[in-house]
Structure 1
Amino acid sequence: MIDEAAQSMRTICDTLLLDARDNAVDTSTAPGTADVVPVLRRMARRLDTPAQVNAVVEAENGQLEAGVAPAFLERVVSPLLANAVRYARSTVTVSGRRTPGAVVIDITDDGPGVPEAFVGELFQPGRRADPGDGHHGAGLGLPLARRLARSAGGEVSYDAGHAPGARFTVTLPAG
């Protein structure tokens, strides 16, 4: 548990430092391209999922390419995937699709979902719906994912109408 929390904090710190360096040299987009499906599958294989949780990656036929580097894609998706695995009862589904000019990735779980009263605070740094829920976290993952996506001309959003569970959507420019 301590090792998992330390790794999570290291990832957050590394991402913040990389983002700060990028902003210091005035880059408004993340250069590169990522073949999305292999990156998502690799991330799913590396997950430390509880025995009862199955992570599934689905994608439309054909190549799905985002206009960001693979490491950048991982930094955006990683906190969303970690939360989905943390709260899922049995299944986490990561699905990718193309839209005009963009790549859309949905991260869906079948857990309890986000409490309605907390939805407005989801992307505020340092906020957690239930700090005493037994899960580690500093409330930085979602705001960081959104900030990174926006820096590349994308977005991270939450679908408040999805039930049961939670669905977060990452939209990034197509490669």
Structure 2
Amino acid sequence: MTVVADGPPLKAGVAPALLERIVSPILTNACRYARSHIAARAYRAPDGVRIDVIDDGPGVPPPFAGQLFEPGRRADPGDGHGGAGLGLPLARRLARSAGGEVTYDPGQAPGSRFAVSLPAG
């Protein structure tokens, strides 16, 4: 896993415990599905702080991308990986409650890219 934080120290405008609750499911999924590499990058964005998590796994099947943040939905429940399909929806809900967002980049290939945007602290 590669972790990069560009520039001076960053401070998100959320409590550390909330930041962990937002980012943890995204990192857990990256660890679950990555073939060999995960990269996490934190940096300043025009509207606050952004954290990108990129993995080299199979990615999200395009037909499923629209359901990715629906509670209880999994692209392939029989893929041999645990999970109830609740992590990403919870991460997005918590980010939105703090004035942020969690998004998926369907153009990332191979693998997946998720972005967490939060207000600066």
- Structure 2 length as normaliser, TM-score? 0.98
Partners of 1:111 and 1:151 in 2: CA distance: 29
Q: 1:129 aligns with which of 62, 75, 83?
A: 75
Aligned length: 121
Query: Can you list the C-alpha shifts for 1:39-74, whole angstroms capped at 9, x where unaligned?
Result: xxxxxxxxxxxxxxxx11101121111001111100
Partners of 1:92 and 1:100 in 2: CA distance: 25
1:101 is matched with: 47
Give 2:97's aligned amino acid.
Answer: S
| Partner secondary structure for residue 133 of structure 1 | coil
Report which structure shows greater RCO (CA 8 Å, sep ≥6): 2
Partners of 2:71 and 2:59 in 1: CA distance: 19
Higher Cα Rg, which structure: 1
1:70 is matched with: 16
Give 1:70's aligned amino acid.
Answer: P
Query: Can you list the C-alpha shifts for 1:126-146, whole angstroms capped at 9, x where unaligned?
Result: 000000000010000000000
Partners of 1:94 and 1:63 in 2: CA distance: 15
Partners of 1:122 and 1:158 in 2: CA distance: 8
Q: CA deviation at 1:89?
A: 0.5
* Larger helix percent: 1
Q: CA deviation at 1:77?
A: 0.2
The yes-or-no answer on 1:56 pairing with 2:8 is no
Partners of 1:140 and 1:101 in 2: CA distance: 27
Q: 2:26 aligns with which of 74, 80, 99?
A: 80
Poorly superposed stretches of 4+, deviation over 2 Å: none
Partners of 1:101 and 1:139 in 2: CA distance: 29
- Segments of structure 2 that go 5 or more residues without pairing to the other structure are none
| Partner secondary structure for residue 84 of structure 2 | coil
**For the aligned residues, what is the CA RMSD?**
0.6
Partners of 1:90 and 1:159 in 2: CA distance: 20
1:172 is matched with: 118
Partners of 1:100 and 1:84 in 2: CA distance: 26
Partners of 1:173 and 1:71 in 2: CA distance: 15
- Segments of structure 1 that go 5 or more residues without pairing to the other structure are 1-54
